[in-house]
Amino acid sequence: MKIRRKTQQCLNCGLTLNTVYHYCPRCGQENNDNNVSFGTFVHEFFANYFSFDTKFAKSAVPFLIKPGFLTNRFNEGKRVGYVHPLRLYLIVSIIFFFLATWAVRSSLEGTSIDNSDLSEIAEVDSARAVSGFQRIADILEDESLNDEAALDSLRKMDSFEADSGEFVMRVFHQVRRVAQNDLDVFAGFILQNMPIMMFLLIPLFALLLKLLYIRRKPELYVQHLVHALHLHAFFLFLLSLLIALYLAFSIGDTTISWINFVINLLLAAYAFFSFRQVYQQGWFKTIVKLFLIGIVYFWILVVFGLSEAFISFLLF
Protein backbone atom coordinates (compact mmCIF):
# COMPACT_ATOMS: atom_id res chain seq x y z
CA MET A 1 0.00 0.00 0.00
CA LYS A 2 1.29 3.46 -0.91
CA ILE A 3 2.48 5.55 2.03
CA ARG A 4 0.94 9.04 2.11
CA ARG A 5 1.62 11.97 4.45
CA LYS A 6 -1.55 13.96 3.96
CA THR A 7 -1.79 17.70 4.51
CA GLN A 8 -4.73 19.96 5.30
CA GLN A 9 -3.89 22.30 2.46
CA CYS A 10 -2.98 21.54 -1.16
CA LEU A 11 0.70 22.32 -1.65
CA ASN A 12 0.03 23.31 -5.27
CA CYS A 13 -3.10 25.51 -5.27
CA GLY A 14 -3.64 26.15 -1.55
CA LEU A 15 -7.16 24.63 -1.33
CA THR A 16 -8.14 23.47 2.15
CA LEU A 17 -8.39 19.69 2.10
CA ASN A 18 -10.16 17.05 4.11
CA THR A 19 -7.77 14.29 5.16
CA VAL A 20 -9.87 11.71 3.28
CA TYR A 21 -8.76 13.22 -0.03
CA HIS A 22 -5.94 11.38 -1.84
CA TYR A 23 -5.92 14.08 -4.55
CA CYS A 24 -6.82 17.74 -4.62
CA PRO A 25 -10.36 18.18 -6.09
CA ARG A 26 -9.35 21.53 -7.62
CA CYS A 27 -5.99 20.90 -9.35
CA GLY A 28 -5.67 17.12 -9.12
CA GLN A 29 -2.27 17.05 -7.37
CA GLU A 30 -1.70 14.13 -4.99
CA ASN A 31 -2.24 14.96 -1.34
CA ASN A 32 1.19 13.88 -0.17
CA ASP A 33 4.00 15.83 1.49
CA ASN A 34 7.34 14.69 0.06
CA ASN A 35 9.44 17.06 2.14
CA VAL A 36 11.11 14.36 4.22
CA SER A 37 14.62 13.28 5.10
CA PHE A 38 16.67 11.31 2.58
CA GLY A 39 16.54 8.22 4.81
CA THR A 40 12.73 8.36 4.95
CA PHE A 41 12.53 8.90 1.19
CA VAL A 42 14.71 5.84 0.43
CA HIS A 43 12.86 3.69 2.99
CA GLU A 44 9.46 4.55 1.52
CA PHE A 45 10.68 4.00 -2.04
CA PHE A 46 11.67 0.42 -1.25
CA ALA A 47 8.56 -0.09 0.86
CA ASN A 48 6.33 1.02 -2.02
CA TYR A 49 8.02 -0.72 -4.94
CA PHE A 50 10.12 -3.56 -3.61
CA SER A 51 8.32 -4.67 -0.45
CA PHE A 52 8.36 -8.41 0.11
CA ASP A 53 4.83 -8.39 1.46
CA THR A 54 2.27 -11.19 1.60
CA LYS A 55 1.44 -10.68 -2.08
CA PHE A 56 5.02 -11.32 -3.09
CA ALA A 57 5.35 -14.34 -0.82
CA LYS A 58 2.08 -15.76 -2.15
CA SER A 59 3.20 -15.18 -5.76
CA ALA A 60 6.77 -16.48 -5.51
CA VAL A 61 6.05 -20.22 -5.30
CA PRO A 62 3.55 -20.45 -8.20
CA PHE A 63 5.75 -18.14 -10.27
CA LEU A 64 8.69 -20.53 -9.89
CA ILE A 65 7.08 -23.99 -10.00
CA LYS A 66 3.54 -23.59 -11.40
CA PRO A 67 3.87 -22.16 -14.95
CA GLY A 68 0.76 -20.35 -16.15
CA PHE A 69 -0.88 -20.23 -12.72
CA LEU A 70 -0.39 -16.50 -12.12
CA THR A 71 -1.46 -15.69 -15.68
CA ASN A 72 -4.70 -17.66 -15.29
CA ARG A 73 -5.47 -16.13 -11.88
CA PHE A 74 -4.92 -12.61 -13.23
CA ASN A 75 -7.03 -13.20 -16.36
CA GLU A 76 -9.80 -14.70 -14.21
CA GLY A 77 -9.91 -11.47 -12.22
CA LYS A 78 -8.37 -12.95 -9.05
CA ARG A 79 -5.72 -10.27 -8.73
CA VAL A 80 -5.79 -8.82 -5.23
CA GLY A 81 -3.79 -11.66 -3.66
CA TYR A 82 -0.89 -11.69 -6.15
CA VAL A 83 1.80 -9.33 -7.37
CA HIS A 84 0.80 -7.41 -10.49
CA PRO A 85 2.52 -8.90 -13.60
CA LEU A 86 4.14 -5.60 -14.54
CA ARG A 87 5.48 -5.06 -11.04
CA LEU A 88 6.85 -8.60 -10.93
CA TYR A 89 8.58 -8.12 -14.28
CA LEU A 90 10.06 -4.76 -13.21
CA ILE A 91 11.49 -6.19 -9.97
CA VAL A 92 13.10 -9.15 -11.75
CA SER A 93 14.37 -7.02 -14.65
CA ILE A 94 16.00 -4.47 -12.33
CA ILE A 95 17.83 -7.29 -10.54
CA PHE A 96 18.87 -8.85 -13.86
CA PHE A 97 20.18 -5.68 -15.50
CA PHE A 98 22.03 -4.71 -12.32
CA LEU A 99 23.78 -8.10 -12.19
CA ALA A 100 24.41 -8.13 -15.96
CA THR A 101 25.99 -4.67 -15.92
CA TRP A 102 28.12 -5.63 -12.92
CA ALA A 103 29.28 -8.85 -14.58
CA VAL A 104 30.14 -7.23 -17.90
CA ARG A 105 32.01 -4.34 -16.34
CA SER A 106 33.87 -6.70 -14.01
CA SER A 107 34.97 -8.81 -16.97
CA LEU A 108 35.97 -5.89 -19.19
CA GLU A 109 37.12 -3.36 -16.59
CA GLY A 110 40.18 -1.50 -17.80
CA THR A 111 40.10 -3.23 -21.18
CA SER A 112 40.54 -1.05 -24.24
CA ILE A 113 41.23 -1.62 -27.90
CA ASP A 114 44.98 -1.18 -28.04
CA ASN A 115 47.77 -2.20 -30.33
CA SER A 116 48.33 -5.61 -28.74
CA ASP A 117 44.62 -6.45 -29.10
CA LEU A 118 44.66 -5.58 -32.77
CA SER A 119 47.84 -7.55 -33.29
CA GLU A 120 46.17 -10.65 -31.85
CA ILE A 121 43.11 -10.10 -34.03
CA ALA A 122 45.28 -9.91 -37.11
CA GLU A 123 46.01 -13.60 -37.47
CA VAL A 124 48.40 -13.15 -40.34
CA ASP A 125 52.06 -13.89 -40.92
CA SER A 126 52.76 -10.61 -42.63
CA ALA A 127 54.60 -8.16 -40.38
CA ARG A 128 53.33 -5.41 -42.65
CA ALA A 129 49.70 -6.32 -41.99
CA VAL A 130 50.27 -6.35 -38.22
CA SER A 131 52.01 -3.02 -38.46
CA GLY A 132 49.01 -1.70 -40.41
CA PHE A 133 46.61 -2.68 -37.65
CA GLN A 134 48.85 -0.99 -35.10
CA ARG A 135 48.93 2.17 -37.20
CA ILE A 136 45.12 2.19 -37.41
CA ALA A 137 44.91 1.85 -33.62
CA ASP A 138 47.33 4.75 -33.14
CA ILE A 139 45.29 7.00 -35.41
CA LEU A 140 41.92 6.07 -33.86
CA GLU A 141 43.20 6.65 -30.32
CA ASP A 142 45.11 9.88 -31.06
CA GLU A 143 43.02 12.56 -29.32
CA SER A 144 45.15 15.34 -30.78
CA LEU A 145 43.65 14.65 -34.24
CA ASN A 146 40.17 15.75 -35.20
CA ASP A 147 37.98 13.37 -37.22
CA GLU A 148 38.89 14.86 -40.58
CA ALA A 149 42.62 14.71 -39.89
CA ALA A 150 42.35 11.15 -38.59
CA LEU A 151 40.40 10.06 -41.68
CA ASP A 152 42.97 11.74 -43.95
CA SER A 153 45.71 9.83 -42.16
CA LEU A 154 43.88 6.57 -42.75
CA ARG A 155 43.38 7.40 -46.44
CA LYS A 156 47.14 7.69 -46.86
CA MET A 157 47.49 4.06 -45.85
CA ASP A 158 47.53 1.43 -48.58
CA SER A 159 44.16 0.08 -49.73
CA PHE A 160 42.13 2.31 -47.40
CA GLU A 161 39.33 4.28 -49.05
CA ALA A 162 36.49 6.22 -47.45
CA ASP A 163 34.35 9.17 -48.47
CA SER A 164 33.52 12.14 -46.25
CA GLY A 165 29.74 11.86 -46.21
CA GLU A 166 27.84 13.03 -43.16
CA PHE A 167 26.83 9.52 -42.10
CA VAL A 168 30.34 8.13 -42.66
CA MET A 169 31.83 10.89 -40.53
CA ARG A 170 29.25 10.24 -37.82
CA VAL A 171 30.11 6.54 -37.73
CA PHE A 172 33.84 7.26 -37.85
CA HIS A 173 33.50 9.68 -34.92
CA GLN A 174 31.75 7.00 -32.87
CA VAL A 175 34.39 4.40 -33.80
CA ARG A 176 37.03 6.73 -32.40
CA ARG A 177 35.01 7.31 -29.21
CA VAL A 178 34.78 3.56 -28.64
CA ALA A 179 38.50 3.10 -29.36
CA GLN A 180 39.41 5.87 -26.91
CA ASN A 181 37.33 4.43 -24.06
CA ASP A 182 37.51 1.23 -22.04
CA LEU A 183 35.31 -1.52 -23.41
CA ASP A 184 33.42 -1.88 -20.11
CA VAL A 185 32.14 1.69 -20.49
CA PHE A 186 30.78 1.00 -23.98
CA ALA A 187 29.35 -2.40 -22.98
CA GLY A 188 27.68 -0.82 -19.95
CA PHE A 189 26.13 1.84 -22.18
CA ILE A 190 24.66 -0.86 -24.44
CA LEU A 191 23.26 -2.75 -21.43
CA GLN A 192 21.63 0.32 -19.93
CA ASN A 193 19.54 0.71 -23.10
CA MET A 194 18.39 -2.91 -23.15
CA PRO A 195 15.40 -2.39 -20.80
CA ILE A 196 13.90 -0.06 -23.41
CA MET A 197 14.36 -2.76 -26.05
CA MET A 198 12.68 -5.33 -23.81
CA PHE A 199 9.70 -3.04 -23.26
CA LEU A 200 9.26 -2.97 -27.03
CA LEU A 201 9.76 -6.70 -27.41
CA ILE A 202 7.26 -7.87 -24.79
CA PRO A 203 4.20 -6.28 -26.49
CA LEU A 204 5.46 -7.71 -29.79
CA PHE A 205 5.75 -11.18 -28.23
CA ALA A 206 2.19 -10.78 -26.89
CA LEU A 207 1.05 -9.95 -30.43
CA LEU A 208 2.64 -13.17 -31.68
CA LEU A 209 0.73 -15.08 -28.99
CA LYS A 210 -2.49 -13.36 -30.03
CA LEU A 211 -1.97 -14.31 -33.69
CA LEU A 212 -0.92 -17.86 -32.86
CA TYR A 213 -3.96 -18.45 -30.63
CA ILE A 214 -6.41 -16.22 -32.47
CA ARG A 215 -9.27 -18.73 -32.19
CA ARG A 216 -8.72 -19.71 -28.58
CA LYS A 217 -9.17 -18.18 -25.17
CA PRO A 218 -7.88 -15.94 -23.77
CA GLU A 219 -9.19 -13.64 -26.48
CA LEU A 220 -8.04 -10.19 -25.37
CA TYR A 221 -4.60 -8.90 -26.35
CA VAL A 222 -3.92 -7.65 -22.80
CA GLN A 223 -4.38 -11.20 -21.49
CA HIS A 224 -1.63 -12.40 -23.82
CA LEU A 225 0.45 -9.44 -22.61
CA VAL A 226 0.10 -10.68 -19.03
CA HIS A 227 1.34 -14.10 -20.14
CA ALA A 228 4.27 -12.49 -21.97
CA LEU A 229 5.25 -10.54 -18.84
CA HIS A 230 5.27 -13.68 -16.70
CA LEU A 231 7.33 -15.63 -19.27
CA HIS A 232 9.90 -12.87 -19.67
CA ALA A 233 10.12 -12.38 -15.89
CA PHE A 234 10.93 -16.07 -15.44
CA PHE A 235 13.49 -15.93 -18.27
CA LEU A 236 15.26 -12.97 -16.65
CA PHE A 237 15.08 -14.70 -13.28
CA LEU A 238 16.95 -17.72 -14.67
CA LEU A 239 19.56 -15.50 -16.32
CA SER A 240 19.98 -13.63 -13.03
CA LEU A 241 20.74 -16.94 -11.31
CA LEU A 242 23.35 -17.76 -13.95
CA ILE A 243 25.04 -14.37 -13.58
CA ALA A 244 24.92 -14.56 -9.78
CA LEU A 245 26.68 -17.95 -9.89
CA TYR A 246 29.29 -16.52 -12.26
CA LEU A 247 29.94 -13.57 -9.94
CA ALA A 248 29.96 -15.58 -6.72
CA PHE A 249 32.13 -18.51 -7.77
CA SER A 250 35.13 -19.10 -10.00
CA ILE A 251 33.31 -21.21 -12.56
CA GLY A 252 35.08 -22.56 -15.62
CA ASP A 253 33.78 -22.34 -19.15
CA THR A 254 32.71 -25.99 -19.18
CA THR A 255 30.65 -25.61 -16.02
CA ILE A 256 29.08 -22.40 -17.32
CA SER A 257 28.15 -24.21 -20.54
CA TRP A 258 26.42 -26.99 -18.59
CA ILE A 259 24.58 -24.50 -16.36
CA ASN A 260 23.53 -22.57 -19.45
CA PHE A 261 22.23 -25.82 -21.00
CA VAL A 262 20.20 -26.60 -17.86
CA ILE A 263 18.77 -23.08 -17.77
CA ASN A 264 17.70 -23.31 -21.43
CA LEU A 265 16.09 -26.66 -20.68
CA LEU A 266 14.24 -25.21 -17.68
CA LEU A 267 13.07 -22.26 -19.76
CA ALA A 268 11.75 -24.52 -22.53
CA ALA A 269 9.95 -26.75 -19.99
CA TYR A 270 8.50 -23.72 -18.17
CA ALA A 271 7.24 -22.18 -21.43
CA PHE A 272 5.72 -25.50 -22.53
CA PHE A 273 3.75 -26.07 -19.33
CA SER A 274 2.78 -22.40 -19.18
CA PHE A 275 1.37 -22.59 -22.73
CA ARG A 276 -0.47 -25.79 -21.78
CA GLN A 277 -2.06 -24.20 -18.72
CA VAL A 278 -3.00 -20.88 -20.32
CA TYR A 279 -4.23 -22.07 -23.73
CA GLN A 280 -5.44 -25.57 -22.84
CA GLN A 281 -4.24 -27.34 -25.98
CA GLY A 282 -2.77 -30.81 -26.43
CA TRP A 283 0.90 -31.67 -26.15
CA PHE A 284 1.57 -31.95 -29.89
CA LYS A 285 -0.09 -28.63 -30.83
CA THR A 286 1.62 -26.91 -27.92
CA ILE A 287 5.05 -28.20 -28.97
CA VAL A 288 4.49 -27.16 -32.60
CA LYS A 289 3.30 -23.66 -31.67
CA LEU A 290 6.05 -23.21 -29.10
CA PHE A 291 8.60 -24.23 -31.74
CA LEU A 292 7.13 -21.77 -34.28
CA ILE A 293 7.00 -18.85 -31.90
CA GLY A 294 10.50 -19.70 -30.68
CA ILE A 295 11.95 -19.48 -34.19
CA VAL A 296 10.14 -16.24 -35.05
CA TYR A 297 10.97 -14.62 -31.73
CA PHE A 298 14.61 -15.67 -31.96
CA TRP A 299 15.04 -13.74 -35.22
CA ILE A 300 13.13 -10.80 -33.78
CA LEU A 301 15.55 -10.82 -30.85
CA VAL A 302 18.52 -10.88 -33.25
CA VAL A 303 17.19 -7.93 -35.27
CA PHE A 304 16.25 -5.90 -32.19
CA GLY A 305 19.52 -6.75 -30.47
CA LEU A 306 21.66 -5.65 -33.41
CA SER A 307 19.53 -2.53 -33.85
CA GLU A 308 19.83 -1.65 -30.15
CA ALA A 309 23.60 -2.17 -30.26
CA PHE A 310 23.96 0.00 -33.38
CA ILE A 311 21.74 2.77 -31.99
CA SER A 312 23.68 2.68 -28.72
CA PHE A 313 26.90 2.87 -30.76
CA LEU A 314 25.62 6.00 -32.54
CA LEU A 315 24.54 7.62 -29.25
CA PHE A 316 27.64 6.67 -27.24
| Higher-confidence position of 160 and 127 | 160
* Between 273 and 311, the higher pLDDT residue: 273
Plot region of 276 (φ>0 → left; ψ -120 to 50 → alpha; else → beta): alpha
Residue 72 confidence (pLDDT): 92
- The torsion defined by the Cα of 225, 228, 232 and 235, in degrees rounded to 10, comes to 160
Specify the range with the lowest mean pLDDT, choosing from 65-79, 125-139, 152-166. Answer: 125-139
User: For 37-66, what is the mean pLDDT?
Assistant: 70
Residue 124 has pLDDT above 60, yes or no: no
pLDDT at 159 over 90: no
User: What is the band of 122 on the pLDDT scale with cuts at 50, 70, 90?
Assistant: very low
Nearby residues of 115 by Cβ (< 8 Å), 6 or more positions away: 133, 134, 137, 138
Residue 70: is its pLDDT beyond 90? yes
Whether the pLDDT of residue 261 is over 50: the answer is: yes
Please tell me the predicted confidence (pLDDT) of residue 16. 81
What distance in Å separates the CA atoms of residue 6 and residue 15, rounded to the nearest whole number? 13
* Residue-wise DSSP of the chain: -------SB-TTT--B--TT-SB-TTT--B-------HHHHHHHHHHHHS---HHHHHHHHHHHHSTTHHHHHHHTT--TTS--HHHHHHHHHHHHHHHHHHHHHHHHTT-B--HHHHHHH---S-HHHHHHHHHHHHHHH-TTS-HHHHHHHHHTSTT------HHHHHHHHHHHHHHTSBHHHHHHHHHHHHHHHHHHHHHHHHHHHHHHTTTSS--SHHHHHHHHHHHHHHHHHHHHHHHHHHHHS---HHHHHHHHHHHHHHHHHHHHHHHHHHH---HHHHHHHHHHHHHHHHHHHHHHHHHHHHHHHHH-
User: For residue 109, is pLDDT > 60?
Assistant: no
The answer, yes or no, to whether residue 30 has pLDDT greater than 70, is yes
Average pLDDT rounded to a whole number, residues 64-72: 92
- C-alpha separations of 16 from 19, 42, 73 in Å: 10, 29, 42
